Structures are given as structure tokens and as C-alpha cells.
A and B are shown apart, each in its own frame.
Chain A
Amino acid sequence: MLTKNQIVGWLRHSAKVMKEKSSYLSELDAVIGDGDHGINMERGFKKVLEKLETGEQQDIAAVLRETGMALISSVGGASGPLYGTFFITAGANLSGKTQVSTDDLAASFRAGADALAQRGRALEGDKTIVDALMPAVRALEQAAGAGESVHNALNKAAQATQQGMEKTIEMTARKGRASYLGERSVGHQDPGASSAYLLLKALYEAAS
């Protein structure tokens, strides 16, 4: 099981990671976008941290909703609505829960990732966050089907996300600012997929 405290720990850890990796993400973004992804994610998770400081969130749904709202109101650009939609939708069915099973987690990630993809009108292969997130969802679903522990499931999800992120290097961007580069976007890792990987890695670490 993954507890509410572990999820809060994940988000706190993510804030630290986004701060540390801010320049890395912005550098990736500078090559095929506008170079502010790291700054935006750092600002967003700083706001998440402030919201979680109060500790008023009763259940996991509230934690994820507050996280999503904080990101939406502070990140701007495309990542704000995308990650915001992910967290809010992922938490929507977890009302009253203070811990989640692998099944819950898989269902919650599926709902969040589908909503994110719809918000961005993005498909796998478009060189976006979706390319990193969908493999994670499938890994979680598989692990849930096999009755695996949350810890094992998240380990597999983080690995799948890493592979998804690395695959974006060879893709041609079809969404967002990078799409204007067309073929010139090939050879560069997508910054959104990279921040998605950092989040999944942070979740695995928080669950360990």
C-alpha cells in the first residue's frame, strides 16, 4: 500500500528534484522550445510545497487536487494545465482514502494520463509528456494484474517512463512550440517527458 504520507513525501521530494533539475529541464527546453520548462516546474512545485505546508488535506484526493490546483495557478504555459489536469483527475476517485493499493494507483494514473492527453490533444508519438506517462500507466496496470506490491509496480513504472522518455529523442515533435521545428526536433529529448520521468522516479523513491 502507498500511504497519504508517502504521497505527500513524494510531492515534497518532487519540489526538491524540480529545483535541482531546473537548469537541466530548461536546457532541454531551450533546444526545441522556449527554455523555461525548468523555471516553470520549479515555480509550480514551490507553490505545491506551500499548499501542503498547511497539512489540511484529509485524504489523498485532497492532496492531489491541491497539487493540481497549485500547478494550474502557478506554472502557466502548457505544462501547468497538463500536469494540473493529471493530478486533479488522478485524485478524483480517491476520496476518503488515506492509502492506495496497486490497483487504485493504476486506475488513478490511467484516469489522470487519459485526461492529460485529452487536454493536450496529444497521442503517443507526438513527443510530449504523454510518451513518458503512458508506458508508466501500462506498467502499473500490468503489475496490478499480476498482483504485485506498490513498491514493485512503481519500480517498473519508473523504468517504463525512462524508456518512454528516451524514445522521444528520435521522435518528431507534433505538439507545442517544438512542432514548428518539424524534423529539426529529432535528436533531442522532450523536456515534458523528462519532467514526467523525474516525477515517476521521485514517486518510486518516496515509496521505497
Chain B
Amino acid sequence: MRRRHYPDAKQLDNISRGTEMKKLINRPENVISDSLAGVAAAHSDIVRIHTEPRFIYRADAPVKGCTALVSGGGSGHEPMHTGFVGKGMLHAACPGEIFTSPTPDQMLEAARRVNSGEGVLFIVKNYSGDVMNFEMAVELAQAEGVPVSTVLIDDDVAVRDSIYTQGRRGVGTTVLAEKICGGASEKGYDLKSLTELGLRVNKNGRSMGVAFSSCTIPARGEPTFNLGPDEIEIGIGIHGEPGRERIGLKTAEEITRILTLSIIEDPAYTRTHRLWGAGAWVEEEMTDTPFQRGDRVIAFVNSMGGTPLSELYIVYKTLEEICRDKGLVIVRNLIGPYITSLEMQGCSITLLKMDDELLELWDAPVHTPSLRWGM
């Protein structure tokens, strides 16, 4: 790997020959701060930016009587999480460097800022860095007397082996969990019930993705991985982690079938989560149950960043047919770029089993930069 300054004459020359990354940025090291400043300028009615340490928070935080919901993770997945801060969703989000977990001081400062006295729930995706940094933040916040709890999202069925890996990765269900828990926070759920709700959403949600092309991290300047012109990676992670298999390009129908059946036919999955309870970490085993005929679901078709909406609808058409065939009732859908991998071409599908409570919370009003309805 070579490091590059952007742009200089040589690089502009390379860019013109199409051998280098072509990005709408000023300088690679300023991508996150420039982008956040843009969010703040565009949505000053909803959010505020804090710079040292870096986080974005609701303009009206702390919200009296509400348990605060804080998330965060590496940048490059926008709109997740920064675009989901606002009424009915997150109270704060901590963006890390691109594809790198944020740090405990960001999470701690964000928690202090949005805690109304009802405590703070951290929503964490299952990546080793995210888990460790959030665990340190939990310990620090607790030491200051801020009641805290965590929900770990691990819904990527592409990862089969959980004993010899970090376990399933947190992907599409994260977006749905943030919306549903945000709705619950607004309705006055306390920290304990909000945590239980988050755990239930995680157990009900499953996802899988596919990549058609890599993305390029600005600071690296080169694609994260290489796919041949006719190759696709089934089960890709949102940072380009390898999936289940690399196969030749297929039709949207065939690809949608592979992803959807992998999700629907995924067997019960058992894993151990480390939860914060009564001032110490407690290991708890959790098992989710496979989808069953008659289940009501949210069908979420997500773009990895480079795949257009028209193609997502092609996927949705087949997804809807398969669900009908398998007896799953799609009660809501979400289609668009919500958890992306920079400019990666590809998509992911998430199915989340719903019940009356989850449905009511999903439908509750939300007003964030990137998700808005009912208000």
C-alpha cells in the first residue's frame, strides 16, 4: 500500500487516466469532518455537532423523561448512524474514522451530553473494535454514575461459524433496531425495557449482502478488495469482509433468491453476548428462532452505496414473490441506501420478524436527516 496526497499534479494525471480513486472530496483526512459539517449546515433544526471528541447529537438533547439512545461505528456507512439522529431515533451518534470504530471518549462524552437522567442505551454492531471500545465506554460511564446498557447487533447470516470467528456481523438489522428503539424511547420505555426490546429486535432480524465491486477508502486510495469483471461476492460484509463464496455474475432474480433463501432457511443461531448488568459484565447465551410460515416481516432492501434504486426495486419484486411463496407476510418495507459501504456496488436484504408492539414502534413518527415520516 502506498499513501497518497490528494490531489497533486501526478495524481491528477493518474486520475485522468482512470487508475486512481476519483472522489468528490477536498482532502482524504478531512472527509469525515467536512461531511459532518455539511450535515450540521443542512439540518441545524435537528442536530448539533461536537468536535473534540467527535459526535453528533439531537439539538434538543437531553430529552426529559426519555432513555437516551446512542450508537456509533466506523464512518463510510452513511446515512447510518449520523443520518439517524433526531426525534424518534438516535439521541447521538459517534462516527469513527472510515471503517474504524470510534473511541470510548467519544461515546462517553456523547452519553454525558444526551443523558436526561434516565440512562443511556448503546447500540453496538458486532465487530471486535466496536465491541471493545463500547465496553470501555460503558465502564467509564458507569463509573461516573450514568446508568448504561448495551445491545449488540449480530444479524449477518453469511457468517456460519461463530465459535472460531468474532461471530455474526452487525448489518441491516441495526437500522431497524435504531428506529424501533428510538420510537420506544420517545414513548418513555425505561433503560431495562428498552434494552430488552433491542435484544428482541436483534433476535428477530437476519440479513445477507452481495457485492459487485469494492469500495475505496479515501486514506488508502486503492480498492479494499478485487473482484473480477464477472465476479460477485455473496455474503459480503459492510467493510468488504469476505462472504460465503465468490461466484460468477447472475441475474437479479437468481441473486435475490440466494440471499433471501439463505435468510429464510437459516437455522436457529446461538451465541454468547456479554451484557452489562448490575455493575459487571455477564455472559448470556441467546438463540433466535428461524422464520416460520405466517410470520409478519419488514422487508428491507439496502444499497451498498453504488447500486441504484431502480435495481433495488428489481430485487424487491423477487423478494416479495419468494416471501409470498414461503408464507411470510411483508407488513412494511424499506428500500434505499441506509447502511452503505462507501461507493460499493451491491445490496443487502434484511428480514425482521414483527409483532404488534414492534409494528407500532416502527410506525411511530421519526424526524432525522435521513429517515422521516409521521411528522
The interface of chain A, by Cβ under 8 A from chain B, is 22-23, 26-27, 30, 34-36, 39-40, 72-82, 84-85, 119-120, 172, 174-177, 179-182, 184
Contacts and interface: CB of A to CB of B under 8 A. Distances in A.
Given A73-B105, A76-B133, A79-B129, 18 more contacts: A23-B2, A30-B1, A34-B100, A35-B224, A76-B74, A77-B101, A77-B129, A80-B132, A80-B133, A81-B136, A119-B132, A176-B166, A177-B239, A179-B164, A179-B165, A179-B166, A180-B169, A181-B242
Contacts of B253: none
Contacts of B135: 81, 119
A131 to B, nearest CB: 15
Given A30-B1, A80-B103, A181-B242, A35 B220 contact: yes
B242 A184 contact: yes
Interface of B: 1-3, 53, 74, 96-97, 99-105, 127-129, 132-133, 135-136, 159, 161, 164-166, 169, 217, 219-220, 224, 237, 239-242
Contacts of A80: 101, 103, 129, 132-133
18 contacts: A30-B1, A35-B224, A36-B100, A36-B220, A73-B104, A76-B101, A77-B96, A77-B129, A79-B129, A81-B104, A81-B136, A84-B136, A119-B135, A174-B164, A179-B165, A180-B166, A180-B237, A180-B242
Contacts of A81: 104, 129, 132-133, 135-136
Shortest beta-carbon contacts, A-B, top 7: A179-B165, A81-B132, A77-B129, A78-B129, A76-B100, A176-B128, A78-B128
A122 to B, nearest CB: 9
A34 B127 CA distance: 12
A182 B132 contact: no
Contacts of A182: 161, 164-165
Contacts, number: 100
A3 to B, nearest CB: 30
Contacts of B2: 23
Contacts of A177: 127-128, 166, 239, 241
Contacts of B217: 35-36
A180 B165 contact: yes
A179 B3 CA distance: 26
A114 to B, nearest CB: 16
Nearest to B108: A73
A116 B3 CA distance: 30
A181 B100 CA distance: 19
A179 B217 CA distance: 21
B150 to A, nearest CB: 15
A82 B128 CA distance: 10
A120 B132 contact: yes
Contacts of B96: 76-77
Q: Which of B128, B133, B219 has the most CB of A within 10 A?
A: B128
B51 to A, nearest CB: 14
